[in-house]
Amino acid sequence: MKVKPDFSRCVFASNNRGKLAEVQAVLGPLGLTIVAQSELGIDSAAETAATFAGNALLKARHAARRSGLPAIADDSGLCVDALGGRPGVQSARYAGTDASDADNVRKLLAELRGVPADQRQARFHCAAVLVTPDDSIEPVLAEDEWHGVILLEPAGTGGFGYDPVFYDPAIGKGAAELTTDEKNTVSHRGKALRLLASRLKRVAPGNFNDHR
Ligand code: IMP
């Protein structure tokens, strides 16, 4: 028999502290306590799917199975027009399997050397998914994007990943110049998570603080 799901404590299927802070800022106010999988001793799942949504599902299912808790995963990345959409799903591993954020940014700027300012369009993509350990609800999936351009050199000290070289012309700021709340208002992850929350409220009503 399937038990009514309890979302008060969820595991986040990532060890990325930057992502975790953004997820907690959006989902915490709904009454969800989000625990990083590393705090529960859960290893990372292999990201072998060809799409963001496919990888998000792999990660969430792995964490839900290991923890016995509802699991939220985010698979995200940067797609650069001048690079035919790369690094895409390979964003975390762009400069190699153990690449740091700084390595990836360096490689990106090197590949874009000589590409003029009006041809540096890019977008962040986020697929966010929630699954329950016993599949008592269908996986809830939400995706969104953040459009901007790649700077010629890093700017700002906030965020993580490619934030220092991503600039949003609509707000006139770089991603690394935004606070977590400002970034969540406009970012791929903030928008995808709000969509995920609204879909989750529909499939599992009565589980959340509904003032947002
Ligand atoms: P994954 O989802 O764990 O495969 O990793 C996504 C990778 O994409 C991160 O390691 C970052 O390099 C990049 N990325 C995803 N979202 C963001 C963001 O909000 N800012 C900067 N980089 C990001």
Adjacent-strand bridge partners of 130: 72, 140
Domains of the chain, by residue range, sit at 9-203
| Contact residues for 96 (Cβ-Cβ < 8 A; gap 6+) | 103
Q: pLDDT for 12-55, tens place per residue?
A: 999 899 999 999 999 999 999 999 999 999 999 999 999 999 99
Q: What is the pLDDT of residues 172-196, one digit of tens each?
A: 999 999 999 999 999 999 999 999 9
Report the alpha-carbon distance of residue 35 to residue 72 in Å, rounded. Answer: 10
CA pair distance 45, 59, nearest whole angstrom:
5
| Shortest-distance atom of ligand 1 to CA 183 | 19
Kindly give, in sequence order, each residue whose CB lies less than 8 Å from that of residue 134, ignoring residues fewer than 6 positions away.
2, 3
Nearest atom of ligand 1 to the alpha carbon of 22:
19
Give the whole-angstrom CA distance, residue 58 versus residue 161.
21
Q: Is 34 exposed, middle or buried (CB count within 10 Å of its CB: 0-12, 13-18, 19+)? A: middle
pLDDT in tens, 79-95: 999 999 999 999 999 99
| 22 C-beta closer than 6 A to ligand 1 | no
Ligand 1 pocket residue status of 75, Cβ below 6 Å: yes
Helix axes 188-203, 17-27, angle to 10 degrees: 50
pLDDT at site 209: 80
Relative to the CA of 146, which ligand 1 atom is closest? 19
Q: What single letter denotes the amino acid at residue 164?
A: P
Q: CATH number of the domain at 9-203, please?
A: 3.90.950.10
| Ligand 1 mutation pick, 162, 163, 177, 184, max ligand atoms within 8 A of CB | 162
Residue 211 or residue 154, greater confidence:
154
Peptide bond into 87 cis (omega under 30): yes
CA of residue 160 to ligand 1 center, whole Å = 8
What's the CA-to-centroid distance between 38 and ligand 1, angstroms?
A: 18
Our answer on whether the CB atom of 162 is closer than 6 Å to any ligand 1 atom is yes
